[in-house]
Amino acid sequence: MGAELGTITGFIEIHPEYSCMAGPVPAGDAPIILVEGLEHIYGDFKAVDGISFSVKKGEIFSFLGPNGAGKSTAINVLITLLNLQKGRAAIAGHDVKTDPQKIRESIGIVFQDITLDRDMTVWEILEFHGRLYRMPLAERRERIEELLQLVQLDAKRNELTKKLSGGMKRRLEIARGLMTRPLVLFLDEPTIGLDPQTRMRMWEYIRGVNREGTTIFLTTHYMDEADQLSDRISIIDHGRIVVTGTPWQLKNTLGQDLIYLETSDNPAARRLLESLPSVREITEKKQGIILMVNEDGTRVLPGIIDTLRENGVAISTINLKKPTMDDVFVFYTGKEIRDEGQQPARGGFLRAARH
């Protein structure tokens, strides 16, 4: 199925066999991150199972996947906190294995959990980071002022970090990640646990940072976050990259619209509709079928209804919508995202249809 779709769309990298081959390198500049056949094993658990991808300079690239998919492990290998076990990875031309020091100098990191010293002030956190990276005094002080403005923590500069709200802490961490003007900024679940408003503001900061030329590598398990922020997304599950593409490309593989039908005879309906030229693919669910259509769904729908009526299949429910990243995720991984205790992402059409 995957390979078939790949040939239809033409420009999506699909990894049906989860091959160790490098994905096609984007045309133009050499990739700033290049990963080939990366594997990582904890004991007998394969957290990362042979992933390959590349990130272009200046883009926002996302790993989208459920918790435990291997996103953080992959990131920890890239930022040199975990040893590279198998495969190859390079950032800005420096090999992770042989040149970790060079990599540390050219990246910024925002970790998944808050890693701020509770007993240091906002200003001290940034000053300490600048000193760790050996920034000259004048440059350091200037950069701190710039960043305090950017993340709107100017008024909080002498506040101990334990007194900051969750959103402020996250903003401070992003500011810290940007202190050294890194080539690549790694953001591991940057908006986890933040309220919707703060998340949107965080996205604005991230976009702003990207506009200034910083390449962003982001992991997230929020569909909307990946969709809204990324230039390209790799969906990752069970330590493997399932598919890579732009949000638009990924959603487009599901056709222009999704139509959900519940009928008196679903297998018969499927057989009848499969031959329609506007129908790209049909998936059977527990109670109904989902059609991916190549044309505007509102124009296709009357034909579908007629076809079914003429053949004596009664329709009990019809629903029509644009594919969301949620649908893309369910389509490629065959399941909804595992997100303990969180609200399900809105608009989970394929997912809702499964029950």
**Residues at the contact surface with other proteins, assessed by CB under 8 A:** 72, 76, 79-83, 101, 104-105, 109, 111, 113-117, 119-120, 124, 128-129, 131-134, 176
With contact defined as beta carbons under 8 Å apart, do 65 and 78 qualify? no
User: What b/e sequence results for 30-67 when a residue is b if at least 16 CB atoms lie within 10 Å of its CB, and e otherwise?
Assistant: ebbbbbbebbbeeeeebbbbbbbbbbbbbbbbbbbbbe
Q: Nearer to other proteins by C-beta: 62 or 161?
A: 161
Q: Helix axis angle, 196-211 relative to 166-178, nearest 10°?
A: 10
Q: Nearer to other proteins by C-beta: 134 or 346?
A: 134
Q: Nearer to other proteins by C-beta: 177 or 323?
A: 177
Give the alpha-carbon dihedral of 180, 181, 182, 184, to 10 degrees. Answer: 150
CA distance 211 to 286: 45
Least distance from other proteins to the Cβ atom of residue 173, Å: 9
Least distance from other proteins to the Cβ atom of residue 177, Å: 10
Displacement of CA 91 from its chain's centroid (Å):
19
Residues 6+ apart with CB under 8 A from 345: 222, 223, 224, 324, 325, 326, 337, 339
With contact defined as beta carbons under 8 Å apart, do 203 and 150 qualify? no
Least distance from other proteins to the Cβ atom of residue 233, Å: 24
Least distance from other proteins to the Cβ atom of residue 158, Å: 13
Q: Nearer to other proteins by C-beta: 215 or 230?
A: 215
Q: Nearer to other proteins by C-beta: 214 or 324?
A: 214
Q: Nearer to other proteins by C-beta: 140 or 270?
A: 140
Task: List the alpha helices (DSSP H) in the chain.
Answer: 2-9, 71-78, 100-106, 122-132, 137-150, 166-178, 196-211, 223-229, 247-252, 266-274, 297-310, 325-333, 349-354
Least distance from other proteins to the Cβ atom of residue 75, Å: 10
Q: Nearer to other proteins by C-beta: 157 or 280?
A: 157
Q: What SS3 state is found at 29?
A: coil
Least distance from other proteins to the Cβ atom of residue 112, Å: 9
Least distance from other proteins to the Cβ atom of residue 111, Å: 6
